Structure 1
Amino acid sequence: MSDTTYRKTPLPVRLDLNKRNTKEQLNKAVDDKRGMLEGAGYAPSPSKESTKDCNDVMRKDLVAWLSEHGISGPPPSPEAEQRAMWQWIRDFHKEYNDDWYARNMPRLRDQFRPIFVQEMKRMRGDNSTPNSQATPPKNDSQDLLSFDAPSPATPAPAPPAGTNLLDM
């Protein structure tokens, strides 16, 4: 048997364990291709591939859901858009009970909302955002389910003194 228990890793040969910042040591390390098989290259990160695959599944399901519900354009109001988003997310997870769904709503919102927003922008014809993973602004005043505090409304300027309000 020529197999050994030692396997090369992409880590540098030596780390100075007395220095607290091992990340800095790893960043400065010379990449000598340790741990690579001969003739093989580095594979893309599985988590990035998985995220891309998940986003593709969500996008395909959203397109099918929109056509199934007869939605060919963006909803007329922000409220209707939010309602449609949550209906789609609930239909996507129909195999789970309401308790699971309620507990996971913040996580689901973070994962599904960017896909929904991209599709709504595409339906509106707004191509200002590239097709990559776009995240909407955090403090969107039209987002009814935003967890951030709403921005304060600016008051209207007061009319000049002595002005009759009925004449305006």
Structure 2
Amino acid sequence: MAVMSSPPRSLDETELGAYFALIEASSLLKHAVEEQLREAGDLSYVQFQLLATLGDSPTGSRRMTDLADGVVYSRSGLTYQAQTLEKRGLVERTQSSDDERGITVTVTAEGRAVLADVFPGHVAILDELLFAPLSRSDVEALADILSRARDHMRQNPPRSAKPRRRRKAAAGTGRERT
């Protein structure tokens, strides 16, 4: 005899409206930001995230695995983006000092200069599209709400953002760990 499962819960009108507003607002903002980054610095959104994360680091450096976990991007895709930035002289990739298979990425002076070029326009886009219609208390509430949602989602992150398990078996493979 087949067991009947209950139908999935439906979203109410408010939940559905919040979801669609979030998706549409995110898409509109990301499109405008990507356009500005291309024009001001010939950067993709992921390249900007990588440079900005490095630029915000006290040392200007991060391990590739930490970068991939932070920007929620595949490790292979991030490796490609880092290689592209390295060819432009915006980052340097070196062997990690604490793991011979790990790679550390460091923003260069040229990378910091590109960040300095794109940031004014980036902030202007955010001011114009995201923050202009909101009061200060709205921005504080939005930051709180999105931070809680993000933190909840990171409890079960996508594969690209999950910390890698260090396996003894992997040590003998000779594969580069990014």
Structure whose alpha-carbon radius of gyration is higher: 1
* Fold match by TM threshold 0.5: no
Question: Normalization by structure 1: what TM-score?
Answer: 0.25
Which structure's residues are more often helix, by fraction? Answer: 2
Which structure's residues are more often strand, by fraction? Answer: 2
Question: Normalization by structure 2: what TM-score?
Answer: 0.24
